[in-house]
Each structure stands twice: as structure tokens, then as C-alpha cells.
Amino acid sequence: MGRYSRLGNNLYTGQRSIDFVGRKWLWYAVSALIVGIAVAGLLVKGLNYGIEFTGGTQVRVSLENSQVTQKNADDLREAVAAAGVEGATNPSVTTSGDSAILVQVEELGAAEAATVSEVIMTTLAVTPDQLSQDKIGASWGDQVRNRAILGLVVFVVLVLLLIWAYFRQWKMSLAAMVALAHDVVITVGVYALSGFEVTPATVTGVLTILGFSLYDTVVVFDKVRENTKNLRQSRRSYAQAANLALNQTLVRSINTSLVALIPVGAILYVGAVQLGASSLKDLALALFVGMAAGTYSSVFIATPLLVHMKANESEIVLAERRAKARARRAADKYAAVPSFTEDMPILDEDGDDVPAADFADDDVEGPVAPTRPSSPEALGRGRVAPTQARPVGESPAAGRPQPSRQPRSKRNKK
């Protein structure tokens, strides 16, 4: 068995444990710092909305199949950006199938549009008949934004109801929503800091990470529910049982995230480095950041926050007291031996009260005084029976009158 497999087995069985819940304030501080940076980037730099949201000018260049290449698209992007036309300093140039190249810039006047068209014809050696220019309004982008917000609201409401119906705990729903908001804010903040354009592909990526983040959180919560189903029998506090659930699902969460992040990272590299301006990089960046943040929040935010919110519940408080008492007894078994009194309560080996009915005799009417069960440590004390020399057989004297010893004053008297 490899070292990684042994580590996963030890984490699952509890032989090794990482204290996620006990260090919740550290994770809160780290998350607050990351979210603060994301919000600052969003407020200071803002989002770079694409032409679909702001409106602009799109030029379609019809070409032969052999000319529709990424090299021509990159050359055209550099030429348009270097033309010095205001509104075309950061053009979006992509291939459209195998028959055209699309050039998207901000809304231009007639003179600026003519300059851009001249640069395109010079760079690709095409005629004016091969160019077609369209105006893109911002109304379609407004519709996409409104639909995205509506979809997000519907998603959040359905998730709240689903988690509450499945776990029967509204605090789990609230913790999952806080983790989800954490992931969305970080993703949007990274988008603002990176300067990537917000396109319809970005909206698709953000909506996708909501489901991925929630899936990981639900898996962890399901293990938490399993471990905390019967705290009295588990002999753990709620925090200890929840922390065990995190350790048991940690390897699975890491493996799932790596399997998802590696191909998304490859798509991000190809879209941002190899292809330049492409909708692939917009989608991949949202997916990559959202998946990484979702894995982090499900382990470091959602479960510690759930334990934090449930800390004042009466059942959780009693389980915590029992766990602390067991820890003290385990440290020194003879440090807290009480003196005997007639009204001393009967306790089991865990320190819990034992009802008197458990020691009552069913054949005797009325209550019977409970008797304290003998502990294994008390066996063998006091008088010790001699070792048996041979098996004890049936006595031949059975059935005959047995002699009895009389007092000296009555001996030899009739």
C-alpha cells in the first residue's frame, strides 16, 4: 500500500486527524482576506464586459478554408490594436467555423470603422466585398445578464429547499449558501483582477461552478450526518464527529478536484496562451477558480461554520461535556475517584447515569435497590478460593443424617 493510500486509510479510521474544526478562526481569517482582495479588485478595477454586454461593432471577414487559421487571427488582432483607433485598442478576433474570421471592437463612428476595415483588408489581402459590418446592441447583453440573475436566484431557492428536505436542518442549508457565496465572490473578483472579458461563456462557467461547489459540500455534510447520528454511542462530541467526517472525505475531495482541475487548466492554457482571445479562456477561468474555491470552502468553511452555528444546542452541549469528561478520565483514571455515599448515583463505564430499573428483579414486586455492578478491577480481592485438586464428585453422605457439633455443656447428657 502506498504512502498516500495509507494516509487516506489512517484519516478515515481516525488514527491520524487534521483539526479542521478546531482551527475554524484561522480558516475564517484566510477566507476573509481572500474575499476582501476579490471585493477590492471588483470595486477598484471593475469587470471588463465584452461586446455582447456593452454593444459595439463586429466585422466579418469571409475567407477560404486555408486562410481561416489561428495565425491569421493573431496577426489581425495585433494589426487592429496597433492602428491607433480609439475603441479598437483591445479587439476580439476569433475564427468562425472554417469560412470566416470575426473582429469585434467597441462601437465606432464612420471614420473609425473605415480605418479598421482598411487595416483588415491590408493585413489579410481581401477585397471590400469580403467584409460585412454589423452593429451589436447592448440589449441582448442585458437580457443575458437578467436571465443569469434570475437563474441564480431560482437555483439558490431550490438548493435551500433541497438541502433542508434532505438533511432536515436549516443550518446546513445556511452553511452551504455561505460557502456558495464565498465561491462566487472569489471567482468574480479574480475575473476583475485578471482583466478577462465577461462574456456569455463566463456566465455559463459561473452557473456551472455553483453545482460543483454544492455537490462537494453535500457529500461532506452527508458524512457529517452519518457520524453525528447517535452522539451518545459514538462517544464523540459533535465537533469531533464533524472533524472526523472532514478527514474521511478529504482524500476523496482532493482526488475529485484534481481530476476536474487538470483538464480545465489545460483548456485555460490553450485558450489564454495558444489561442489568445477566445471564449474558451473565459469559460475555463470561471471553472478553474470556482472549482478550486468550491473544494476549499466545502472543507474549510462550510463544515466549521455548521459546527459553529450548532454549538449552543442542548444535545451538542451535553455531548461536548461527556467528551471532555472522558478525556479527563483517560488522562488519569484515578484522579477523580469520589468518596462513597449511600445516595451516590450509579454510573456506567462512560460516566453516564444508569437507571435503577436496569438492576431491578422482575420476580420481586416493588422497587429493588440497585446494586453496583462489580468492575473487573475488583475481582480477585479479599479471600481467595484454593485451587481445585480434582473434579468435585457427588457426596456419598447425601441422604443420611449428618453429625452436628454440640456445645460442651450439653455433651454426654441425655
CA within 13 Å, CB half, 7: 8
Check residue 353 and report its DSSP letter.
Answer: B
Q: Residue 26's pLDDT is what?
A: 92
What percentage of the chain reaches a pLDDT higher than 70? Answer: 73
Q: Residue 37's pLDDT is what?
A: 92
CA distance 155 to 149: 10
The pLDDT of 227-252, averaged and rounded, is 82
- DSSP three-state, residue 347: strand
- The phi, psi pair for 132, rounded to 5°, reads -135, 130
pLDDT greater at residue 373 or residue 45: 45
Same fold, 3-48+141-316 and 56-136: no
How does the average pLDDT of the chain come out, rounded?
Answer: 76
Distance of CA 327 to the CA centre of its chain: 29
For the stretch 87-99, pLDDT in tens is 777 777 877 777 8
Are residues 239 and 22 in contact, defined by beta-carbon separation less than 8 angstroms? yes
- DSSP three-state, residue 151: helix
pLDDT interval class at 19 (50, 70, 90): confident
Cell of 409: 455443656
Would you say residue 362 has pLDDT above 60?
no
CA distance 402 to 294: 88
pLDDT interval class at 29 (50, 70, 90): very high
CATH 1.20.1640.10 fits 3-48+141-316, yes or no: yes
CATH topology of domain 56-136: Alpha-Beta Plaits (3.30.70)
Are residues 118 and 88 in contact, defined by beta-carbon separation less than 8 angstroms? no
Task: Show the beta-strand stretches assigned E in 21-145.
Answer: 48-49, 56-62, 92-96, 100-105, 131-136
The pLDDT of 2-23, averaged and rounded, is 73
Other C-beta atoms closer than 10 Å to the C-beta of 184 total 19
348-352 long-range contacts, CB within 8 A, separation 24+: 350/235, 350/322, 350/326, 351/322, 351/325, 351/326, 352/232, 352/322
Cell of 255: 482526488
CA distance 292 to 258: 9
Q: Pick from 193-202, 241-250, 375-384 the range whose average pLDDT is largest.
A: 241-250
The pLDDT of 139-165, averaged and rounded, is 76
What percentage of the chain reaches a pLDDT higher than 90? Answer: 4
Question: Helix 238-269 to helix 3-13 angle, to the nearest 10 degrees?
Answer: 150
User: Cβ contacts of residue 147 below 8 Å, gap of 6+?
Assistant: none
Are residues 288 and 265 in contact, defined by beta-carbon separation less than 8 angstroms? yes
CA distance 26 to 15: 24
Q: Pick from 169-178, 323-332, 373-382 the range whose average pLDDT is largest.
A: 169-178
pLDDT interval class at 191 (50, 70, 90): confident
One-letter amino acid for residue 14 of the chain = G
Q: Residue 28's pLDDT is what?
A: 92
In the chain, where the domains are located: 3-48+141-316, 56-136
One-letter amino acid for residue 188 of the chain = V
Q: CA quadruple 362, 364, 368, 370: dihedral positive or negative? A: negative
Q: Residue 192's pLDDT is what?
A: 86
Q: Residue 363's pLDDT is what?
A: 47
CA distance 58 to 105: 6
pLDDT interval class at 253 (50, 70, 90): confident
pLDDT interval class at 356 (50, 70, 90): low
